[in-house]
């Protein structure tokens, strides 16, 4: 125990010492216009145990932080240093590891340092059976590719997780990527998770695909696809789908029934009032459904709501009070 503690202390001291040298070097490298950059790089390598993996990792960690926080030409200097120190070769060596989590680390380095020469090698992993490795490759390619990066998504055969969807949408937002012109065709994919991702991407772009495609997807045997279509109908205010989703209500899953009620609250007309009324007085309907239906009735026809529950019993009066003031 004592020997291990001593080793940890010594290791920490080495890292702290190396970090101080790296800090001084980076300050001179980035902000001293009179510095000889080539000699500075050689000096850094000679002053720290650069041959050790932990030291290379430490330098890369510093460069990644700088690349993420600096702007303009300083970013270019950081990337140039990454190559000048041959750290891209170290990242490649990690990507060639047999261990998937080490491969991911290498891909992460190359992605964060915007090393576009690695695109071809990273592409090999978008079909990996390991979901973590596949996800890392997809995110890296979205960052590194300049020409229609989103087109790569349709080539991924694996499942897109909810976390993948969030990350992809964040990259789209950060890079301000244009909506793919052929995005409608994505809805015809055999990969259900890709179809769901596509519907969410369409929602982000405030884009409504061909209605014939949405009608087809409303008949999908995948509940999550149907649910996401219902959400898109709501977000795009597609009133023409009102009667269609009313007809599917009884056969839908519980989650999708709730989405239908929320959607009819936005696009509904007098046709929706009958469904709202039925749900509210259905003794077996969950409370969440009743509240959603009553909110829908309020939004579609508030006068009808007041008349309907003018003489209702205490239970329904409480529901109405809650709809009018959720804090009660």
Burial of 314 (0-12, 13-18, 19+ CB in 10 A): exposed
Distance of CA 93 to the CA centre of its chain: 28
CA distance 134 to 157: 10
- What is the pLDDT at residue 81? 93
- Give the mean pLDDT per block of 10 residues along the chain (328 residues): 51 87 90 69 89 96 95 91 95 97 98 97 95 98 95 93 98 95 96 98 97 98 98 98 98 98 97 96 94 94 84 79 70
- What is the pLDDT at residue 328? 56
Q: For every residue of 149-169, which 3-state class applies, written as one string?
A: HHHHHHHCCCCCCHHHHHHHH
pTM for this structure? 0.88
**Taking the CA of residue 226 as centre, how many other CA atoms within 13 Å lie in the half-sphere pointing to its CB?**
20
Closest CA to 222 of 279, 159, 164: 159
- What is the pLDDT at residue 303? 87
Closest CA to 138 of 151, 173, 88, 33: 151
């Amino acid at each position: 125990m004592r020997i291990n503690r001593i080793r940890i202390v010594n290791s920490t001291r080495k890292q702290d010492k190396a970090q101080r040298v790296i800090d001084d070097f980076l300050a001179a490298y980035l902000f001293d216009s009179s510095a000889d950059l080539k000699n500075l790089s050689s000096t850094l390598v000679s002053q720290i145990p650069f041959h050790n993996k932990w030291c290379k990792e430490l330098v890369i960690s510093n460069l990644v932080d700088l690349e993420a926080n600096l702007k303009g030409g300083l970013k270019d200097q950081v990337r140039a240093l990454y190559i000048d120190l041959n750290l891209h070769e170290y990242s490649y060596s990690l990507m060639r590891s047999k261990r998937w989590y080490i491969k991911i680390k290498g891909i992460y380095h190359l992605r964060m340092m915007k090393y576009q020469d690695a695109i071809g090698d990273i592409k090999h992993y978008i079909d990996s059976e390991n979901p973590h490795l596949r996800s890392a490759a997809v995110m890296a390619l979205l960052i590194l590719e300049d020409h229609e990066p989103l087109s790569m998504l349709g080539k991924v055969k694996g499942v897109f997780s909810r976390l993948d969807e969030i990350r992809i949408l964040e990259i789209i937002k950060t890079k301000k990527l244009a909506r793919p012109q052929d995005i409608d065709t994505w809805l015809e994919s055999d990969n259900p998770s890709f179809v769901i991702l596509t519907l969410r991407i369409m929602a982000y772009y405030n884009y409504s695909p061909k209605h014939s495609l949405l009608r087809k997807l409303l008949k999908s045997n995948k509940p999550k696809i149907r649910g996401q279509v219902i959400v898109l109908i709501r977000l795009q205010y597609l009133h023409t789908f009102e009667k269609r989703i009313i007809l599917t209500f009884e056969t839908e899953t519980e989650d999708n029934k709730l989405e239908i009620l929320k959607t009819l609250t936005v696009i509904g007309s007098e046709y929706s009032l009958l469904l709202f009324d039925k749900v509210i007085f259905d003794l077996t309907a969950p409370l969440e459904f009743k509240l959603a239906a009553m909110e829908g009735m309020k939004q579609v026809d508030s006068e009808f709501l007041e008349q309907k529950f003018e003489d209702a019993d205490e239970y329904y009066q409480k529901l109405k009070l809650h709809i009018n003031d959720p804090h009660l």
